[in-house]
Amino acid sequence: MSIWVTILGGAAGLAIGGPIGGLIGALAGHAIDHYRDGQDEHLRQNVAFSVALVALSAKMAKSDGKVTLDEVLAFREKVDIADQDITHVGHLWDLARQTPAGYEGYARQLRQLFGPKAVVFDHLMALLFHIANADGQITDKEQEYLYHVAMELGYDEKAFRRFEMLYQHDSDNPYHILNISPDADETMIRQAWLKLVRQHHPDQLQAAGLPKEFIRSATEKVATINAAYERIKSMREE
């Protein structure tokens, strides 16, 4: 069963609450007034991440005053959505865009559920940057939005500048990708590479609460990390 079917059909009984729970209730057509016994924490994280990411994406897309088709399509480029689920996801997107709840509440609730600077948030920020870039440039309003979402998720100024470098400016500098200095020795480079591969491995991220529908970004991330490591090795052999 896809995460989208789960959200539509059975997630209203999960003890999520907050703005995420409110959006699930709005999608289901009723307020959440009961919770299932025997909570599945992994399912709870999957649902919360998916709903919050759609909400943050929808609100980010309209942060500059307009929502373009490119921005909506950019979401689907990075997220697996079966044809039969498109209508449900579109409805969730529209509800999130219209809801009075601000983006801060969704980001803060994710931080409470996963902890500050959780590895899954790297993929969330990458997707938000991808959507912001969809129409060719990131506006000042979108930039401000991205910055404040990152702060709510527990990142600092330095971490946000790295997101900008990787996801806004598409830096292909292998040292930037591995987050190490060009002066690092071979041991430090290998350690940085292994650490990032472990953190972003699809199996590890699924265990950490990233739904399988979002694993495509993890696969792409690991490929980028491996390519950066190979490039550094080749550069040092020349």
Of the candidates 48, 94, 103, the one whose C-alpha atom is nearest the C-alpha of residue 75 is 94
The pLDDT value given to residue 147? 96
Instruction: Please give the domain boundaries of the chain with CATH numbers for all domains.
Output: 3-171 (1.10.3680), 173-238 (1.10.287.110)
The pLDDT value given to residue 67? 59
CB 168 within 8 A of CB 182: no
Q: What's the pTM value of the predicted model, to 2 decimals? A: 0.84
Of the candidates 44, 73, 80, the one whose C-alpha atom is nearest the C-alpha of residue 57 is 73
The pLDDT value given to residue 196? 94
- Per-residue pLDDT 10s for the chain (238 aa) are 677 777 766 555 566 778 888 887 777 654 333 334 444 777 888 888 988 988 998 888 776 656 566 776 788 788 888 888 888 788 888 888 877 668 899 999 999 989 999 999 999 999 999 888 887 788 888 899 999 999 999 999 999 999 999 898 777 899 999 999 999 999 999 999 999 999 999 999 988 888 888 888 889 899 999 999 999 999 887 6
Of the candidates 101, 109, 148, 108, the one whose C-alpha atom is nearest the C-alpha of residue 128 is 148
Question: How many Cβ atoms are within 10 Å of 120's Cβ, its own excluded?
Answer: 24
The pLDDT value given to residue 96? 83
The pLDDT value given to residue 224? 93
